[in-house]
């Protein structure tokens, strides 16, 4: 589990006990963020986009509870000015909808953060798969589209044992759907399309070949290392499969964490928390190894209950190999 001090230290140049943390677009209300980041010497500020800038599902959401202050975002210049006056020294996204804005705010405040020019890499399944493919990192084949005909045509030209249809925006509270064939894709498309557009503001879905049945969630936090390069620390690793004995040939912790580090580097994660969801393939035709399902540069994407805990020691950094 990612700890609050590690998250704050990762995105702040100041003492993490004294800085002010801005949580951008906490659309789910109070949630764990204000309780986690707020304290006597570390108040939390909610940055809430005004109604017209929110996805439809959240346009009537009330102001989040539990924060010391709330800044209504109407324009970048005004928001940055207000946060600077509040002494903000760390900026995190409250969820999928806050990642792009959080990175733009951090950039304007001169705080450590990812390049806002490629923000989709930190939450968009399609952008992530494309980047990994270009870098030669194993990832499921797929297509990102808002047109069901394109998805069906892709499936027709890429036969597979099954397909996974999901919102392009990772972390959207809309379940992915497993489809056996082209007919299943067409049947699942309308409801998933509307739900994705409502919760993320984007109608784009991603269709991929069905990844391995074994699924894992990896919690991480990243901060600049002594040499200024990103240092990724795995703070939690858990199986998303139902609890039970591990099957022979289950992936080792180093295999999952090593792949996760490669993914974080490829997606340009340079500081702060991220949650990575992986599948593990073990068939003879495609070979063995982890595959990225999606990644989200926000404190928490999913929580698993009653599943095996595979976490390594939380103080051990998993740093990418250097040439």
DSSP string across 128-163: HHHHHHHTT-----EEEES-HHHHHHHHHHS--S-E
Place of tokens 């180093």: 254
Degrees, nearest 5: CA angle 252-5-90: 110
Rounded Cα distance, 148 and 140, in Å: 19
| Strand (E) or helix (H) holding 21 | strand 20-24
Among residues 128, 110, 124, which one has the least CA distance to residue 265? 128
Whose structure tokens read 């039970």? 244
Q: pLDDT at position 102, please?
A: 96
Position 14 scores a pLDDT of 47
Which pLDDT score, from 0 to 100, does residue 322 have? 31
Q: What are the tokens at 146? A: 């808002």
Tokens in use for 306? 């009653």
Distance CA(206)–CA(89), nearest Å, equals 35
Confirm if 24 and 83 have CB atoms less than 8 A apart.
Answer: no
Taking the model in full, what pTM does it have? 0.84
**What pLDDT does 51 receive?**
92
pLDDT for position 40 = 59
Q: Are 213 and 278 in contact (CB under 8 A)?
A: no
Low-confidence ranges of the chain (pLDDT < 70): 1-18, 28-42, 241-250, 282-287, 300-323
Neighbour-count burial for 24-60, b at 16+ CB within 10 Å, e otherwise: bbbbebebebbebbbeeebbbbbbbbeeebbbebbee
Give the DSSP H or E segment for 38.
Answer: none
Residue 218's beta-bridge partner residues? 237, 276
Instruction: Write down the pLDDT at residue 9.
Output: 55
């Amino acid at each position: 589990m990612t700890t609050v001090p590690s998250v704050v230290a990762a995105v702040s140049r100041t003492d993490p006990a004294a800085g002010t943390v801005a949580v951008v677009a906490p659309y789910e209300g109070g949630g764990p963020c204000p309780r986690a980041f707020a304290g006597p010497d570390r108040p939390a500020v909610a940055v809430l986009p005004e109604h017209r800038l929110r996805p439809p599902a959240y346009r009537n959401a009330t102001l989040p509870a539990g924060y010391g202050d709330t800044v209504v975002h109407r324009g970048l210049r005004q928001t940055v000015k207000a946060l600077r006056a509040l002494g903000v020294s760390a900026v995190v996204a409250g969820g999928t909808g806050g990642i792009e804005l959080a990175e733009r705010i951090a950039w304007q405040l001169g705080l450590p953060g990812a390049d806002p020019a490629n923000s989709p890499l930190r939450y968009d399944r399609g952008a992530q798969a494309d980047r990994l493919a270009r870098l030669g990192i194993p990832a499921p084949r797929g297509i990102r589209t808002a047109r069901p005909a394109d998805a069906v045509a892709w499936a027709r030209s890429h036969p597979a044992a099954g397909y996974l249809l999901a919102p392009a925006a990772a972390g959207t509270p809309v379940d992915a759907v497993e489809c056996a064939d082209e007919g299943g894709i067409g049947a699942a498309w309308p409801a998933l399309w509307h739900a994705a557009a409502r919760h993320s503001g984007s109608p784009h879905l991603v269709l991929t070949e069905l990844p391995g049945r074994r699924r894992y969630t990896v919690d991480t936090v990243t901060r600049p290392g002594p040499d200024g390069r990103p240092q990724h620390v795995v703070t939690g690793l858990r199986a998303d499969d139902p609890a039970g004995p591990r099957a022979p040939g289950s992936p080792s912790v180093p295999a999952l964490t090593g792949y996760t580090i490669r993914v974080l580097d490829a997606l340009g994660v340079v500081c702060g928390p991220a949650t990575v969801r992986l599948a593990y393939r073990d068939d003879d035709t495609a070979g063995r190894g982890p595959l990225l399902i999606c990644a989200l540069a926000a404190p928490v994407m999913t929580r698993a209950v009653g599943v095996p805990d595979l976490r390594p020691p939380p103080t051990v950094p998993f740093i990418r190999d250097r040439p």
